[in-house]
Amino acid sequence: MKNFPMFLRMDGRRVVLCGGGEEIARKARLMLKTEARIAILADTLDAELAGLVASGRATRCAEDAATFAGAVLVFIHTGDAARDAALAAEARGAGAVVNVIDRPDLCDAFTPSIVDRDPVVVAIGTEGAAPVLGRAIKTEIETMLAPRLGSFVALAGHLRGAVAQAFAPRDRRSFWEWAFSGEAFRAHLDGRERLAAGLLKDAIAAGQTPGNKGHIALVGAGPGARDLLTMRAVRRLQQADVIFYDRLVDPEVLELARRDADRVYVGKEVGAHAWPQDRIDRLIVAEASRGRRVVRLKSGDPSVFGRACEELDAAAAAGIEVEIVPGITAASAAAAAIGRPLTERGETDTFVITTGTCRPGDAGPDRSLLARPGTSVAFYMAVEKAAQVEGDLIAAGAPGKCPVDIVAAVSTGRQAHVATTLDRLAQAVRDHGIVSPAILMVRYPKSLAAGQAGAGTRAA
Ligand code: SAH
């Protein structure tokens, strides 16, 4: 570690910015987050810096013996290398920590990449070796830390004294553990700030740490790639005590969970039987009833062929708080992967999501409605039913030339795409050895109905 990270006290201290351009304005923006007194030494100021001076948030200073007196930090970028070096020497002589922008050789200290959830601040440095990586790490951490985290920590800070009075020292730790993970924490991060404050204050008034209330989140894991999760999904994963997942959830996604969270696999490989749904329902409810935070992680969007209703009903029957965190469904991801939108102005104005496989014993789906001009259909769970889909749609009047995209294992390393037509769908599935999971996307463009055979079959 060539550079040692420290947090500098800034309130009321003097910071001098030497220069009047954009580089200095950027440092000014950083300093404005603090309560430092900002002085600017420059002949001309850009509009932003001039605005700061006009509003009284910064002052201009002259170059004389007092310029750097009492300054804790000095940033320099005048556009004149010799002048920068001279100012750096002078500032250092006055005892300030100096940063000359883009001149690491003249710097005493470097500004890190910052994730700001004031009062929680994360600083990332790479000792100049890889600033681009530093920014990428910042982005990762930005997604991990909820935007409202800082205001919750500030609230907790205000309550520290009250907690110290209400709880004996040995009980304080469990209070704070609850405060930073329990119901109040979740409520605040979700924007219910008044409820959160109320819960904290009630607990303090009672002098008792509430038991953790269990919670179930049905979380959409998206099609596979871990950067296709929503930020809320990532947050639920990181808060979870236990995660129930099935076979379509990519291992990459599970890595986003807390290391010590329990992971329970509730689905088996293709062909074998998954856990019965009622067993999953019972288990997630049992875990939440013990006060644990449960994530039921489902591929794609939990609301699309995800058996979410059963789990919602089971949670409601047990009086457990439950939420759905939406995800990117396979059809959306497939459309993105092949660069063909699900609807197309003038050609397909109706988009249908349907399944090739129904509950055993249920009547087969009525596909006649799907064979209409202007309709684009995504068939889920239909690889084994390709021949039936093809036959039903053609029997219902869809032209054999309707374009079809078969997209398998979207967004994973095994992704595959076959473009074909409806009359060759089953053949294409066989010829290309397509296996589940795959989406069959069938389009019946209006131009095809108008007798313009071949129109709308633009190669994907
Ligand atoms: N809730 C999921 C669908 C679950 S049903 C969603 O919203 O995507 C399972 C079916 O989804 C599979 O048979 C397949 O048709 C589709 N599917 C899921 N993940 C997929 C992927 N990565 N690539 C292609 N199809 C996928």
Q: Which of 380, 405, 412 to mutate to test the pocket of ligand 1 (most atoms within 8 A of CB)?
A: 380
CB 83 within 8 A of CB 9: no
Q: Which CATH architecture has domain 215-328?
A: 3-Layer(aba) Sandwich (3.40)
Share of the chain above pLDDT 70, in %: 96
Taking the centre of ligand 1 as the mean of its atom positions, its distance from the CA of residue 222, in whole angstroms, is: 9
Average pLDDT, the chain: 92
* CA nearest to 134, candidates 237, 9, 5: 5
- Enumerate the domain spans of the chain: 14-111, 149-206, 215-328, 332-450
Share of the chain above pLDDT 90, in %: 81
For atom 24 of ligand 1, the residue with the nearest CA is 438
Classify residue 150 by burial, with Cβ atoms within 10 Å: 0-12, 13-18, 19+. middle
Taking the centre of ligand 1 as the mean of its atom positions, its distance from the CA of residue 261, in whole angstroms, is: 25
Classify residue 274 by burial, with Cβ atoms within 10 Å: 0-12, 13-18, 19+. middle
Catalytic residue (choose from 27, 84, 241, 246): 246
Taking the centre of ligand 1 as the mean of its atom positions, its distance from the CA of residue 288, in whole angstroms, is: 27
Nearest-angstrom CA–CA distance, 262 and 177: 19
pLDDT at 415: 96
Q: Is the pLDDT of residue 113 over 90?
A: yes
Catalytic residue (choose from 268, 278, 313, 431): 268
Q: pLDDT per residue over 309-356, tens digit each?
A: 999 999 999 999 999 999 999 999 999 999 999 999 999 999 999 999
* CA nearest to 210, candidates 241, 179, 169: 179
Q: Bigger pLDDT: 259 or 86? A: 86
Q: pLDDT per residue over 180-224, tens digit each?
A: 988 899 899 989 999 999 999 999 999 999 987 889 999 999 999
* CA nearest to 48, candidates 17, 20, 80: 20
Nearest-angstrom CA–CA distance, 354 and 370: 9
The Cβ of residue 135 has, within 10 Å, a number of other Cβ atoms equal to 12
Q: What CATH code is assigned to 14-111?
A: 3.40.50.720
The Cβ of residue 382 has, within 10 Å, a number of other Cβ atoms equal to 23
Closest atom, ligand 1, to C-alpha of 301: 7
Ligand 1 pocket residues where CB is under 6 Å: 223-224, 248, 298-301, 304-306, 329-330, 334, 380-381, 407-412, 436-439
Q: Is the pLDDT of residue 453 over 80?
A: no
Domain 332-450 has what CATH class? alpha beta
Label residue 456 by pLDDT band (50, 70, 90).
very low
Q: Is the pLDDT of residue 460 over 90?
A: no
Is 268 part of the annotated catalytic residue set? yes
Is 201 part of the annotated catalytic residue set? no
**Residues 6 or more apart in contact with residue 86 via CB below 8 angstroms:** none
* Element counts in the chain: helices (H) and strands (E): 16, 17
Taking the centre of ligand 1 as the mean of its atom positions, its distance from the CA of residue 303, in whole angstroms, is: 12
Taking the centre of ligand 1 as the mean of its atom positions, its distance from the CA of residue 448, in whole angstroms, is: 28
Q: Name the DSSP class of 442.
A: E
pLDDT at 336: 97
pLDDT at 268: 53
Strand-pairing partners, residue 121, are 116
CB 244 within 8 A of CB 285: no
**Residues 6 or more apart in contact with residue 309 via CB below 8 angstroms:** none
**46-60 average pLDDT score:** 97
Q: pLDDT per residue over 362-379, tens digit each?
A: 887 889 989 999 999 999
Q: Is the pLDDT of residue 70 over 70?
A: yes
Q: Is the pLDDT of residue 404 over 90?
A: yes
Q: Which of 248, 277, 383 to mutate to test the pocket of ligand 1 (most atoms within 8 A of CB)?
A: 248
Cα dihedral across residues 381, 384, 386, 392: positive or negative: negative
pLDDT at 116: 96
Q: pLDDT per residue over 262-309, tens digit each?
A: 999 987 544 455 688 899 999 999 999 998 999 999 999 999 999 899
